[in-house]
Amino acid sequence: MSNEQQITGQANGHNGIINYEVDVSNNHIDDFKVLKHSETPGIFNQVVDTLKQNIIANQSFDVDTISGATVMTQALLNSAKSAINAADVKLHSVPTNTEHQDVELTADVVVIGGGEAGLVAASRALSLGHKVILVEKNGYLGGATILNGSNVTATGSKVAARIFPEQQDSPEQLFNDVTKESRNTNLPELTKLMVNNIGSAIDFVSDYADLTYQKAQTQTPEHSVERQIELPSASSFEFIKKFQQHLNKTVVKYF
């Protein structure tokens, strides 16, 4: 007869209490669910997915924490381990090979960092047919980008032509606005690089990751014309999620 148990508990997360449930049958972990939390969703969802896979694969809460979210994942693992022990569940852990391995990889392009800059660079290189390695130190993608509001300048893009059909904007005008706002402290070569390429970059990311930009609610006064766009969620978590989905279809292997 199956002996099913739903063991609930609480762990101290980074932003407060995390309520979770461990589903067990016959001393086997079937599922690990988070019921309620106040963590940053973009980071938390990725971290908990990985943690859950590791817990179930190992049938144990003695698994590695996720880098970039060490305190929170350790709190969850400690708490769930105590809850399981208190419920007198005897887990049969499945040892997995965690020994250090040297792996030699080759690529045309190596991108360090999986925030928006790295994801776009890697995706652009992939789209040009290059073999790419993307290295991310955290156990999740997104970096600081996950926290941003997705508001960007669309000057020179087809996206801007759709959203601001009446607007007279140009790379030169954006260059002048940047220079004025930064009181000539900007590096002109970098500003030129940005103003001349932001349009094609916006069109590339929109097509590549199926992003549907819209007019940003906030058009800040340093811009002499309306040119700011944002994602419907007003969050770059959407950007990271869609790039991740796209890469999951094309990327060969995660380490």
Ligand X SMILES: Cc1cc2nc3c(=O)[nH]c(=O)nc-3n(C[C@H](O)[C@H](O)[C@H](O)COP(=O)(O)OP(=O)(O)OC[C@H]3O[C@@H](n4cnc5c(N)ncnc54)[C@H](O)[C@@H]3O)c2cc1C
50 touches ligand X (CB under 6 A): no
Among 135, 188, 193, 197, binds ligand X (CB under 6 A): 135
- Sign, CA dihedral 135-128-245-216, equals positive
176 touches ligand X (CB under 6 A): no
| Rounded Cα gap, residues 131 and 52, in angstroms | 30
For the bound state, the minimum distance from the C-beta of residue 176 to ligand X, rounded and expressed in Å, comes to: 19
Among 59, 151, 176, 186, binds ligand X (CB under 6 A): 151
Among 39, 136, 169, 203, binds ligand X (CB under 6 A): 136
77 touches ligand X (CB under 6 A): no
CA angle 155, 158, 161 (to 5 degrees): 70
118 touches ligand X (CB under 6 A): yes
40 touches ligand X (CB under 6 A): no
**In a 3-state reduction of DSSP, which class is residue 117?**
helix
Interface residues for ligand X in 209-248 (CB under 6 A)?
none
CA distances to 100, 146, 252 from 133, rounded to whole Å, are 20, 21, 10
Is the Cβ of residue 81 or residue 215 nearer to ligand X in the bound state? 215
Among 159, 149, 123, smallest CA distance to 244 is for 123
Among 71, 112, 128, 190, binds ligand X (CB under 6 A): 112
Residues 35-40: contacts with CB under 8 Å, at least 24 apart: 35/8, 37/13, 38/13, 39/13, 39/14, 39/15, 39/72, 40/15, 40/146, 40/147
144 touches ligand X (CB under 6 A): yes
For the bound state, the minimum distance from the C-beta of residue 223 to ligand X, rounded and expressed in Å, comes to: 13
Is the Cβ of residue 28 or residue 246 nearer to ligand X in the bound state? 246
Which residues are near ligand X by CB under 6 A?
112-118, 135-138, 143-145, 147-152
